[in-house]
C-alpha cells in the first residue's frame, strides 16, 4: 500500500507541476486504516484532493471522504458533498492553476474561461483574501484584458 500510494503521489506531483511530496509514516498508517471501497481510484482521488488543497512546502492534509455510490457520482469522478463551498473549490482550483502555469492566457485557456473573467475573479480574490491564503499580486503584464478579447 505504501509504495502504491507514494507512486500515485509522485505521478500527481508531476501532473500538477508540484515539488515531489513524500508521505510520512503517520500518513501511511492513516491511509492503511481506511476502508478502500473504491480501491485504487479512491486512493488516487484522496491523494489528488490533498495535493490540490495543500500549500507548496506544507504537509498534505489527508481528509478521507468515502466516495458516493456509482449511481450518485457525477461524471468525471468529482467527489461531492465535502465541507467546501463551490466558490472555495473554484478559488482553490484557479489559484492552483495560476501557480502552475506561466501566463494569464494559458491559465484562462486551461480553466476554459475568458481572460477577462479570470481577471475579474482574481481582482475579487485580492479584495476578499481567504484566511491563510495570499494571492499572487497581478503583474503589469497581466493588466485587465480588453473587452474585445475572446477565448479560442
Q: Is the pLDDT of residue 59 over 80?
A: no
CA 75 distance to own-chain centroid: 18
C-alpha dist (Å) from residue 61 to 34, 64, 115: 15, 9, 31
What number of helices (H) and strands (E) belong to the chain?
A: 6, 0
78 pLDDT tier (thresholds 50, 70, 90) = very low
87: three-class secondary structure by DSSP = helix
Q: In this predicted structure, which of 15-19, 26-30, 77-81 has the lowest mean pLDDT?
A: 77-81
Burial of 47 (0-12, 13-18, 19+ CB in 10 A): buried
Rounded Cα gap, residues 90 and 130, in angstroms:
13
77 pLDDT tier (thresholds 50, 70, 90) = very low
CATH number of the 2-77 domain: 1.10.8.60
Rounded Cα gap, residues 15 and 22, in angstroms:
16
Would you state the pLDDT for residue 141? 52
Rounded Cα gap, residues 26 and 45, in angstroms:
19
Query: Where in the chain are the domains?
Result: 2-77, 86-142
Would you state the pLDDT for residue 105? 86
C-alpha dist (Å) from residue 127 to 5, 37, 92, 121, 137: 38, 42, 16, 10, 11
Measured from the Cβ of residue 66, the count of other Cβ atoms closer than 10 Å reads 14
Rounded Cα gap, residues 119 and 121, in angstroms:
6
Amino acid at each position: 500500500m505504501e509504495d502504491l500510494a507514494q507512486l500515485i503521489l509522485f505521478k500527481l506531483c508531476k501532473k500538477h507541476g508540484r515539488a515531489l511530496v513524500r508521505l510520512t509514516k503517520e500518513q501511511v498508517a492513516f491511509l492503511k486504516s481506511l476502508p478502500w471501497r473504491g480501491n485504487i481510484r479512491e486512493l488516487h482521488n484522496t491523494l489528488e484532493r490533498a495535493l490540490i488543497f495543500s500549500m507548496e512546502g506544507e504537509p498534505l492534509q489527508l481528509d478521507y471522504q468515502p466516495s458516493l455510490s456509482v449511481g450518485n457520482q457525477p461524471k468525471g469522478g468529482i467527489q461531492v458533498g465535502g465541507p467546501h463551498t463551490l466558490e472555495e473549490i473554484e478559488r482553490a482550483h484557479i489559484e492552483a492553476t495560476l501557480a502552475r502555469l506561466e501566463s494569464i492566457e494559458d491559465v484562462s485557456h486551461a480553466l476554459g474561461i475568458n481572460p477577462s473573467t479570470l481577471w475579474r475573479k482574481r481582482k475579487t480574490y485580492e479584495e476578499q483574501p481567504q484566511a491563510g491564503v495570499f494571492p499572487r499580486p497581478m503583474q503589469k503584464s497581466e493588466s485587465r484584458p480588453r473587452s474585445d478579447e475572446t477565448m479560442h
